[in-house]
Chains A and B, each alone.
Chain A
Amino acid sequence: MDQTLVNLLNGLSAGLLLFMLGAGLTLIFSMMGVLNFAHASFYMLGAYAAYGFARIGGFWLALVVAPLAVGLLGALFERFVLRRVRANGPVPELLVTFGLSYVVLEAVQLAWGRAAVPFVPPAALQGPAMTLVHPAGGGLDVFWRAAPEAVCSAAGVSCSLFPATRAFVAVVALSMLAGLAWLLVRTRTGLILRAALTHAGAVEALGHDVPRIFTWVFAGGCALAALAGVAGGVTFVTEPAMAASVGSILFVVVVVGGMGSLAGAFVAAILIGLLQYLPVAWDVSLLTLGRAAGFDWGPETTGHAVLKITLAQLAPLLPYLLLVTMLIVRPRGLFGTHGD
């Protein structure tokens, strides 16, 4: 039970990380109509840039500087490459970012090598954020940070840890969500941004430079991805494969939530985060179910290879199965408003 609770927390934290990425992607998509294939590449760039800056000025400096640097790169890309294909429609825009994902992947390997880099969290983020102790007699005790050693080593007691980095991911994501909501709803900048979303022509007529607003939006989205990259980089492994592994899940989030819907991205991201982590503790397969139901299934049974897959092994596939189910049941996604 306590392990399930930790899995739930892990899933929530993974979902919030996905939402940080999905939010930037959705903002860029709903404002500019650009589906940024390289969004996960900016996430990776954020992690690597933070690793580089952390070696110079420490982690907390890197947490601020890395997203700014990556945002600047995003602005340059938007200004000098993406804007040139603007007139050709959404598919060339997607293709140009697809090409960028190749360039970023190779450039990262060029600068930092093909193996993973040792991006370790600072002392404050090492160890567990809390420990769930399951005493022998039942019940549940919660300790902030690590539990005293004597508690966990006692007979019949099991301890589950929730790592501090994952809590950090959740904190960063929630503060980003709050900051973004404040910016969009409460400030004049947000007012102009929201107006440019629906009435770009009118905003331009009022004297605002809409192409420059788009550059800022793209840069902002990339900076958010990089912020997620800093948090994700210390939590997981900082390696060249991190963009590809998070990228495809990210697009599942966007399609399941409904393209262009921020609320949809939030719900879908949490859902998919939970789907990835909750089943991890369940070592159930069709084989064990069949045996429990009285069938005499063994290695020689037809389809044994499929039957023996456990739910835990299936966890990485579940987001994609969710995608397929969603498309059959509700093709425009959870909160999607229009067909395509």
Chain B
Amino acid sequence: MHFKPHDAGRRIVWSAFALLLVVAPLLFTSGMSLSLLTQIGIAAIACLSYNILLGQGGMLSFGHAVFSGFGAYLAIHALNAAGQGLPLPVSLVPLVGGLAGGALALVFGSIATRRAGLSFAMITLGLAELVGALWLMLPEVFGGEGGLTADRVVGKPVLGISFGPAIQVYYLVAVYCFVCTAAMFALTRTPLGRLLNAVRDNAERVGFIGYDAQHVRFLGFVIAGFFAGIAGGLASISSEIVHAEAVGQMRSGGYLLFTFLGGVPFFFGPLIGAVLMVLAFALFSEWTSAWLLYLGLLFIVMVVYAPGGFASLLLMNLRVAAHGLLRPLWPAYGALLGAGVVALCGLSAMVEMTYHLQLKAGFGELRFFGVPLQPDSADAWFGAAFALVTGAGLFELARRHFAAQWDATQLEIEAIQRRKEGL
């Protein structure tokens, strides 16, 4: 253990994070990108809060959107109440959402955290279904399918900030994003944060040293619910509407998928996941209607080959680069990429042709990356299948070669480190 009172590296990272949040809207100035940045900030809080459960506490939840959705719902009500004269500044409305999410997590957590592991996962699924069904059953209370709306420009502007312009909302989200990220990082350094990790790794031993594993899980659950509620409150301010979809299975599944893709074992992994989530929902779904198929396939591949998510891939390559060994791996990466692109083109050409036949038969010609495809000709199908099979075969060959080279590189790094320690 090294005690470092002045951790320069950490200060640089956090300053860079703050700077990034400040200058991002100056680099991407269009209205569309400002909206995406706002959503990324909100998704970052939500995914980080989800990772308190999955990454730090080892609790796989299928119902995290319940808390962000409930926070969003009460934040809409708080905005409406502020419009009718309640002295509540808009900048504090996300905290209302956070308290709502935390309060609901108090109730649900006391039920769900009685169990761990797979049972916990099933219980969160059941509770999420319960909330989703209730939401639609009580349209007078929750707004039903149409949702509830509010106006975020309420009360007197504070220091000239009315939260009318989108840029002001972005900076509100940015401030909350920074503070929440810092708070959640601080949590990992507290005794509670360490105990959460211990419960994840071995709940029985936590009991042996005198702590109640169930209570630790419960506290983690409530804290995660609180931060999810803040994300929900910010989403309400940004979009001024909350639908039943905000508590739905799709949203909860999205948190799980993208937090995992980002990287569960690392604190900053969910930030990558949040960026991917917003880009996937906003951009990728525009390109192809089969995007959930690709998302599912990518997720399966990542669970099998890279359970640490993109963050682990990034860190492993940085480690190789730090030892100056990345350059010899480039040809192998190139081969992987080339074969992968060929296989993917074949697969997605077949998927797009099927969709074209299935959904839009007779609606003009299908263009695949600008190339016209005839879904009704055997040639196109044969070509696509050929590309898929060849690409997949080459990919497997390249993967074996790469795996061998990668393992050799890791051995080399270990040898270098042993030499350093020997000195």
Our pick among B58, B115, B137, B257 for the contact of A339 (Cβ within 8 Å) is: B115
A residues near B260, Cβ cutoff 8 Å: 95
Q: Is A248 part of the binding interface, using a Cβ–Cβ cutoff of 8 Å?
A: yes
Is A331 within 8 A of B122, CB to CB? no
Is A107 within 8 A of B304, CB to CB? no
A residues near B367, Cβ cutoff 8 Å: none
Is B355 within 8 A of A100, CB to CB? no
Q: Is A17 part of the binding interface, using a Cβ–Cβ cutoff of 8 Å?
A: no
Is A111 within 8 A of B137, CB to CB? no
A residues near B137, Cβ cutoff 8 Å: 309, 313-314, 317
**Total contacting residues, chain B, CB less than 8 A:** 46
Our pick among B60, B126, B290 for the contact of A106 (Cβ within 8 Å) is: B290
- Contacts A91-B60, A99-B299 given: A252-B126 contact, CB under 8 Å? yes
- Contacts A91-B60, A110-B290, A305-B140 given: A35-B118 contact, CB under 8 Å? yes
Q: Is B359 part of the binding interface, using a Cβ–Cβ cutoff of 8 Å?
A: yes
| Residue from A91, A105, A313, A331 with most neighbouring chain B CB atoms (10 Å) | A91
Is B303 within 8 A of A99, CB to CB? yes
Enumerate B263-300 residues with CB–CB distance to A below 8 Å: 290, 292-293, 295-297, 299-300
Our pick among A90, A317, A323 for the contact of B117 (Cβ within 8 Å) is: A90
Chain B nearest CB from A112 CB (Å) reads: 8
Is B304 within 8 A of A324, CB to CB? no
Is A255 within 8 A of B126, CB to CB? yes
Residue of B nearest to A247 (CB): B125
- Contacts A110-B358, A114-B359, A320-B133 given: A244-B249 contact, CB under 8 Å? yes
**A331→B139 CA distance, assembly (Å):** 32
- Counting residue pairs across A and B whose Cβ atoms lie within 8 Å, the total is 131
**A94→B256 CA distance, assembly (Å):** 12
Q: Is A300 part of the binding interface, using a Cβ–Cβ cutoff of 8 Å?
A: no
Q: Is B138 part of the binding interface, using a Cβ–Cβ cutoff of 8 Å?
A: yes
Is A305 within 8 A of B127, CB to CB? no
**Which segment of A80-88, A125-133, A289-297 sits at the interface?**
A80-88
B residues near A35, Cβ cutoff 8 Å: 118, 121-122
**A305→B141 CA distance, assembly (Å):** 7
- Contacts A110-B354, A110-B355 given: A95-B303 contact, CB under 8 Å? yes
- Contacts A324-B127, A327-B114, A327-B123 given: A317-B354 contact, CB under 8 Å? no
A residues near B359, Cβ cutoff 8 Å: 113-114
Q: Is A96 part of the binding interface, using a Cβ–Cβ cutoff of 8 Å?
A: yes
Our pick among A94, A259, A306, A320 for the contact of B129 (Cβ within 8 Å) is: A320
Is B292 within 8 A of A105, CB to CB? yes
Q: Is B166 part of the binding interface, using a Cβ–Cβ cutoff of 8 Å?
A: no
| Residue from A96, A101, A105 with most neighbouring chain B CB atoms (10 Å) | A96
Is B303 within 8 A of A90, CB to CB? no
Is A317 within 8 A of B130, CB to CB? yes
Is A111 within 8 A of B358, CB to CB? yes
Q: Is A277 part of the binding interface, using a Cβ–Cβ cutoff of 8 Å?
A: no
Q: Is B351 part of the binding interface, using a Cβ–Cβ cutoff of 8 Å?
A: yes
Is A340 within 8 A of B116, CB to CB? yes
The 8 A CB mask of A98-124 against B (1 = contact, 0 = none) is 111111011100111110000000000
**A316→B136 CA distance, assembly (Å):** 12
Is B138 within 8 A of A305, CB to CB? yes
Q: Is B83 part of the binding interface, using a Cβ–Cβ cutoff of 8 Å?
A: no
Chain A nearest CB from B286 CB (Å) reads: 17
Enumerate A272-319 residues with CB–CB distance to B below 8 Å: 304-306, 309, 313-314, 316-317, 319
Enumerate B356-414 residues with CB–CB distance to A below 8 Å: 358-359
**A221→B304 CA distance, assembly (Å):** 22
The 8 A CB mask of A223-261 against B (1 = contact, 0 = none) is 000000000000000000000100010011011000100
B residues near A306, Cβ cutoff 8 Å: 138, 141
**A288→B184 CA distance, assembly (Å):** 49
Q: Is A328 part of the binding interface, using a Cβ–Cβ cutoff of 8 Å?
A: yes
Is A254 within 8 A of B115, CB to CB? no
Chain B nearest CB from A240 CB (Å) reads: 11
Q: Is B307 part of the binding interface, using a Cβ–Cβ cutoff of 8 Å?
A: yes
Is A328 within 8 A of B300, CB to CB? no
A residues near B133, Cβ cutoff 8 Å: 316-317, 320
Q: Is A201 part of the binding interface, using a Cβ–Cβ cutoff of 8 Å?
A: no
Is B290 within 8 A of A327, CB to CB? no
Q: Is A321 part of the binding interface, using a Cβ–Cβ cutoff of 8 Å?
A: yes
Is A106 within 8 A of B354, CB to CB? no
Is A103 within 8 A of B122, CB to CB? no
Is B295 within 8 A of A327, CB to CB? no
**A327→B119 CA distance, assembly (Å):** 10
- Contacts A94-B60, A327-B114 given: A248-B296 contact, CB under 8 Å? no
Enumerate A49-104 residues with CB–CB distance to B below 8 Å: 81, 84-85, 88, 90-92, 94-96, 98-103
Chain B nearest CB from A32 CB (Å) reads: 12
Our pick among A100, A319, A320 for the contact of B300 (Cβ within 8 Å) is: A100
Q: Is B111 part of the binding interface, using a Cβ–Cβ cutoff of 8 Å?
A: yes
- Contacts A85-B304, A98-B256, A110-B355 given: A340-B119 contact, CB under 8 Å? yes
Enumerate B126-173 residues with CB–CB distance to A below 8 Å: 126-127, 129-130, 133-134, 137-141
**A113→B116 CA distance, assembly (Å):** 38
Is A103 within 8 A of B293, CB to CB? yes
Chain B nearest CB from A18 CB (Å) reads: 14
Chain A nearest CB from B63 CB (Å) reads: 10
B residues near A98, Cβ cutoff 8 Å: 253, 256, 299
**A289→B380 CA distance, assembly (Å):** 67
Enumerate B83-108 residues with CB–CB distance to A below 8 Å: none
Chain A nearest CB from B231 CB (Å) reads: 22
| Residue from B114, B130, B139, B354 with most neighbouring chain A CB atoms (10 Å) | B130
Residue of A nearest to B141 (CB): A305
- 18 pairs, CB–CB < 8 Å, chain A vs chain B: A95-B60, A96-B300, A99-B299, A99-B300, A100-B296, A105-B296, A110-B351, A111-B358, A248-B249, A255-B119, A255-B126, A305-B140, A317-B134, A323-B126, A324-B126, A324-B127, A331-B114, A331-B115
Interface pairs A-B: 3 shortest CB-CB: A102-B296, A106-B293, A305-B140
* 8 further contact pairs, Cβ within 8 A, besides A313-B137, A331-B115: A85-B303, A95-B60, A102-B253, A248-B126, A255-B119, A305-B139, A317-B134, A320-B126
